[in-house]
Amino acid sequence: MNTSPKHKDFASQAARILIETKAVLFNAHTPFQYVSGNIGPVYVDCRRPLSFPEARGALMDMAADLIKAEIGLDEIDVVAGAETAGIPYAALIADRLEKPMVYVRKKPKGHGRLSQIEGHFESNDAPKTILIEDLQNFGHSKQIFVEALRGAGATLDHFFVLFDYGIRPDVVKDNANMHLTQHHLCNWFDVLKLARDEAYFDNETLDSVESYLQDAESWQAAKRAKAS
């Protein structure tokens, strides 16, 4: 979990950008349907800020400053973007850090050099690498990329996401098992705090969202029971 002074400043700023670009949405009356089949009052699309130059620039400036403060430039040789949403953010962050950038496929491509890691990568030097994704929910997807990078010789101790759900206790355990330190700009509780402080949504919606974040399964069960 991020606890640095930099992160405390950035969490609120990033939350505001995500709300104002409608990258995060709250809807307590008509829940969102997720790929898993579950429902909830919150939705996040971290690809959306890419379409807003000023917002994108501010997020990437904060990301670069946070990474410098919490990891340090000397501890990063390569910035690696995870297919697909992590690729543009990795490129933008690598540019600000003035570091080489590669990207990692979910599986090796089926032609040419059969590469899974694209870009110049000196595996014999065990380059200190940071993995970039757009968001983390359950955290399962990153294992593919972690294994690919470490299998290619990378030293991988850190990964960064713009947005962490922050409501999955098992994710913290998984990160520890993978020997990874997570860094992020903000999570759902940061968004909820700002939304309350600045009255972005009505109290009924905010109370429902808070109830969901505290216990998603109970919230979902109550909503479905009410609808039946």
Over residues 15-42, mean pLDDT: 94
Compute CA distances 141 → 25, 64, 100, 225, whole Å.
23, 23, 23, 32
d(CA 77, CA 63): 17
d(CA 1, CA 14): 16
CB atoms within 10 A of CB 166: 19
Supply the pLDDT for residue 175.
Answer: 92
Q: Does position 227 have pLDDT exceeding 90, yes or no? A: no
* Pick from 24, 102, 18, 31: nearest CA to 59: 18
Q: Does position 201 have pLDDT exceeding 60, yes or no? A: yes
**Per-residue pLDDT tens digits for 157-171:** 999 999 999 888 888
Supply the pLDDT for residue 110.
Answer: 55
| Tokens coding 182 | 């997570």
Supply the pLDDT for residue 200.
Answer: 95
State the pLDDT confidence band at 108, using cuts at 50, 70 and 90. Answer: confident
d(CA 101, CA 93): 9
Supply the pLDDT for residue 7.
Answer: 66
Name residues whose C-beta falls within 8 Å of residue 121's C-beta, 6 or more positions apart in sequence: 78, 102, 127, 152, 153, 154
Q: Does position 217 have pLDDT exceeding 70, yes or no? A: yes
Q: Tokens 């065990």 belong to which residue?
A: 126
d(CA 122, CA 60): 26
Query: Among 12-21, 47-56, 136-145, whose mean pLDDT is lowest?
Result: 136-145
Supply the pLDDT for residue 112.
Answer: 44
137 Cα distance to chain centroid: 8
d(CA 212, CA 119): 41
User: Percentage of residues in the chain with pLDDT exceeding 90?
Assistant: 78
Query: Among 63-77, 80-94, 134-148, 195-209, whose mean pLDDT is lowest?
Result: 134-148
Supply the pLDDT for residue 1.
Answer: 46
Listed in sequence order, the DSSP H helices in 169-215 are 169-177, 188-197, 203-214
Supply the pLDDT for residue 125.
Answer: 83
The per-residue b/e assignment along 186-200, b for 16 or more CB within 10 angstroms, e otherwise, is bbbbbbbbbbeeeeb
- Of the two residues 222 and 109, the one the predictor is more confident about is 222
> Is the CATH number 3.40.50.2020 carried by domain 5-223?
yes
Over residues 32-60, mean pLDDT: 95
Task: Tell me, yes or no, if the pTM score tops 0.85.
Answer: yes
